[in-house]
């Protein structure tokens, strides 16, 4: 179904409303490290490139990046997450503070290490990624601390984002308690999913899988399917997980939004002019969509904004954030074409 026209005045109204929105982000926080260099030769020890390191940089990832995205949009974010008692954990806390986000909900655990993803880059091309992480489920003590923080914040927010990277924070007992509390208060819940937890997501307001994750939701092997098959896939997920809305991100093909009540499917073509890196694009999508819905946008309007935000962030290397002003300008430019 073609996407309906949206006025720039309406988009401006929604984006201005971001400042009145407060959203809690629960999930796995991590640190993204980039090792930048150049390749001039192949190693004599093995057929692999030798990267001559020129610089290093660090960025927030996972739930911490979602919080940073919300802050950039002028939403008031609250993080509920874990990190290790280590240098990466300290760096996550420092970078949250530097970006103007509260780190009060980032609980330090002596039972796990902080997740750090190290990407070796040569001339803007990723050579390899090295992950150091703990993926154990929450201990009883960790779950109690996170629940206390969640409970203290729930009355202050209009929405909850679950940023699930399968690193331990999102476990079945903990998530069940969260969703039950949100349901009682009628708080909007959006989930950025991972394949091993799909059965936990039943009945939430929306999930935002990519195409590979959408296949995993139904236990299917991933294949790059045609648009008509994406529609079939989406409705099957809607039925299986009892979702009112589903937003599947399709990389260079844009997004697909499913509305169960109206039984409508919308394909939003990509607006990206250049695609350098999709790292963190899912964080941007769920941040903008949730910010819009909690600012009284209709799901179609929220998806429109999220699609344009994603088009901006994939044009940059590494995780990136979009401001409300940048988002509105991009939308106005596209609508004037």
How many whole angstroms separate alpha carbon 233 and alpha carbon 18? 32
Contact indicator for 66, 27 with CB cutoff of 8 Å:
yes
Nearest to 118 by CA among 64, 63, 56, 165: 56
Give me the count of residues in the chain.
Answer: 337
**Residue 1: Cβ within 10 Å count:** 11
Return the bridge partners of 293, or none: none
SS3 105: coil
Catalytic residue among 32, 259, 277, 283: 283
Distance CA 26, CA 32 (A): 18
Rounded to 10°, the helix 63-72/87-98 angle is: 10
Annotation says 137 is catalytic: no
Return the ∠ at Cα 57 (arms to 71 and 92), rounded to 5°: 45
d(CA 224, CA 61): 27
Paired residues of 60 in beta bridges? 31
- Return the H-helix or E-strand segment holding 301: helix 299-313
User: Which residues lie closer than 8 Å to 272 by C-beta, 6 or more apart?
Assistant: 252, 310, 311, 312, 314, 315
Give bridge partners of residue 76 from the DSSP assignment.
22
What letter would DSSP give residue 5?
Answer: P
Residue 246, both tokens: 């589903």
Of the candidates 100, 63, 22, the one whose C-alpha atom is nearest the C-alpha of residue 295 is 22
> Catalytic residue positions?
283
């Amino acid at each position: 179904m073609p996407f309906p026209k949206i006025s720039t005045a309406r988009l401006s109204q929604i984006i201005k409303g971001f400042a009145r929105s407060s959203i809690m982000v629960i999930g796995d926080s991590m640190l993204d490290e980039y090792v930048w260099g150049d390749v001039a030769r192949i190693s004599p020890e093995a057929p692999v490139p030798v990267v001559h390191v020129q610089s290093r940089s660090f960025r927030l990832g996972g739930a911490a990046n979602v919080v940073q995205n919300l802050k950039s949009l002028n939403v008031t974010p609250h993080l509920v997450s874990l990190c290790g008692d280590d240098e990466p954990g300290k760096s996550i806390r420092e970078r949250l503070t530097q970006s103007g986000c509260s780190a009060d909900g980032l609980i330090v655990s002596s039972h796990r290490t902080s997740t750090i993803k190290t990407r070796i880059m040569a001339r803007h091309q990723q050579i390899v990624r090295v992950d150091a992480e703990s993926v154990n489920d929450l201990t009883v003590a960790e779950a109690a601390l996170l629940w206390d923080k969640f409970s203290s914040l729930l009355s202050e927010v209009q929405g909850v984002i679950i940023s699930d990277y399968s690193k331990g924070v999102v476990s079945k007992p903990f998530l069940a308690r969260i969703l039950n509390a949100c349901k009682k208060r009628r708080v909007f819940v959006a989930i950025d999913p991972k394949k091993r937890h799909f059965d936990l997501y039943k009945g939430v307001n929306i999930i935002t899988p990519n195409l590979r994750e959408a296949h995993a939701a139904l236990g299917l092997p991933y294949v790059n399917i045609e648009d008509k098959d994406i529609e079939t896939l989406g409705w099957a997920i809607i039925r299986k997980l009892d979702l009112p809305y589903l937003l599947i991100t399709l990389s260079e093909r844009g997004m697909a939004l499913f509305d169960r009540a109206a039984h409508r499917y919308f394909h939003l073509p990509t607006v990206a002019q250049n695609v350098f890196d999709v790292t963190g694009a899912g964080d941007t999508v769920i941040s903008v969509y949730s910010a819009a819905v909690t600012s009284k946008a209709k799901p179609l309007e929220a998806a429109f904004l999220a699609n344009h935000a994603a088009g901006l962030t994939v044009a940059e290397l590494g995780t990136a954030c979009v401001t409300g002003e940048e988002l509105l300008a991009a939308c106005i430019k596209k609508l004037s074409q």
